[in-house]
Amino acid sequence: MNYIEEETRFVVLDDNKQEIGEMTWSNAGESLIIIDHTFVDDNHRGQGIAEKLVSLGVDYARRNGKKIMPLCPFAKKEFDRKKEYQDVLH
C-alpha cells in the first residue's frame, strides 16, 4: 500500500494503484486543521488503514505547527484513545 499526501488529504492506494481510502481536512486559518472525513473501502477495513491515515494527519500537524479539530467521528475516537495525540488537539 502507498500513502500519499495531497493538498488537503491523505490517500492510500493498493498495489494496483486503486484508491482504497482517504482522510480529508480543511484549513481553518494559519494554525488549525479540521479533520472532516476518514474513509476506507469495505474490502480493506480492519487492517489499520484508517488509524494510519489519522496518524499521518497528526504527523502533518506536528511538522507544520498546527492543531487539529477532529470533527470526523473516527478521528475523534482516535484522539480520545491515543494520549500521544493530545499535543496537537485543539
pTM of the model: 0.96
Find the mean pLDDT for residues 29-42.
98
Number of domains in the chain: 1
Terminal Cα-to-Cα distance of the chain (whole angstroms) = 30
Measuring CA to CA, how many Å separate 28 from each of 22, 64, 67?
19, 14, 10
Note the pLDDT of residue 13. 98
Cα 21 from Cα 13, distance rounded (Å): 7
pLDDT tens column, 13-35:
999 999 999 999 999 999 999 99
Task: Give the CATH number, domain containing residue 17.
Answer: 3.40.630.30
- Provide the domain limits for residue 74: 2-88
The model's confidence at residue 45, banded by pLDDT at 50, 70 and 90, is very high
The number of helix segments (H) and strand segments (E) in the chain equals 2, 5
